Amino acid sequence: MRKHGEDISKRIRAVDLFCGVGGLTRGLLNSGIQVIAGFDIDTACRYAYEHNNKPAVFKEESVSDIKGSDLAGLYPDDSIRVLAGCAPCQPFSRYTQGSDHSQDEKWGLLYQFGRLIQEMKPEIVSMENVPELRRHDVYHDFVTLLEKNGYNVSASDVYCPDYGIPQSRTRLVLFGSLLGPIAIIPKSHSEKNYRTVRDAIGSLPAIESGQTDRKDKLHRSVGLSDTNMKRIMTSIPGGTWRDWPEDLVAACHKEKSGSHYASVYGRMKWDEPSPTITTQFYGFGNGRFGHPEQDRAISLREGAILQSFPRSYRFVEPRAQISFKEVGKLIGNAVPVRLGKIVGMTIIKHLGEYA
């Protein structure tokens, strides 16, 4: 029970499983929840996670190798324990549907998450993933396990612009609580005041294709071939390759099998949220990732900002070489920071009512 006058948020401690570069952790910290540690097997995430989220520490360990007692030992006595995470979503994503992922070891990671919950019984659980996860037995098994262990469970498909994220991404957000019913906090935005591409990246310095801003080495764009430069110069915000002259249309799009992929080689619109930021957002041909008016794909920094990372967030060490593929993966796989904050705000509100 809460002591008279106690600020409940000071007792909350969280551990972030599958933490990546710390999108969820940064969001929880921004909400006022202290994060002890993040677990991930990708060593490339260590610098970004620890540099931006002190004093949280990065633990390069697989959840399959961790015991519930190991996690329980990280929390201070008398803390309210939160266990949160986003198991890798590639096997469940609509971008990979149709591919055979039955042997993908990532399928089992949500079961490992459930095992750890059962072993340590944290007061609060939060899980974020793609909505397509609901189609699979692993999701229903996860919910059943929570309910059998006494958790009140709620799950919502969250349209990110409804919560102030400038990206038309939809995510499944699940909460479990041993204390009472829990549900995500009400929406903060509507179509009338969604944050837009202009709101997010409109103030960044202009750069050209293949150029890097001299003050921010992450504000860099991939160079375009002569053909792709002609294509983007012909493209209009929100348009498609169907707007181009016939000689610029790729051969694959002229075939029936490729005629449905209209969203590739497109420009974003200034006054709408961006499309979903994938791990390949830096490539003009990989989606609607063309800058609204500059003749280039969006930069790595712009992709990070559309994922609601602070403009100052560092993803690589100061003298490290920047790989578009590697940094793009780190950014695209992250939980949007603002969504992490919404998770934290939900937990704090809930504990204010029940703890």
User: Which position among 86, 89, 160, 252 bears the catalytic label?
Assistant: 89
Question: Phi and psi at residue 89, in whole multiples of 5°?
Answer: -100, 0
Residues 265 and 284: beta-carbon distance below 8 Å: yes
Give the HSE-up count for residue 2: Cα atoms under 13 Å, Cβ half-sphere. 16
**Matching residue, tokens 């540099």:** 51
Q: Return d(Cα 331, Cα 334) in angstroms, integer.
A: 5
Whether 19 is catalytic is: no
Question: Phi and psi at residue 326, in whole multiples of 5°?
Answer: -70, -50
Residue 156: other Cβ atoms inside 10 A: 14
Q: Which two tokens stand for residue 344?
A: 């934290």
Residues 48 and 22: beta-carbon distance below 8 Å: yes
Q: Return d(Cα 86, Cα 21) in angstroms, integer.
A: 12
List the catalytic residues. 89
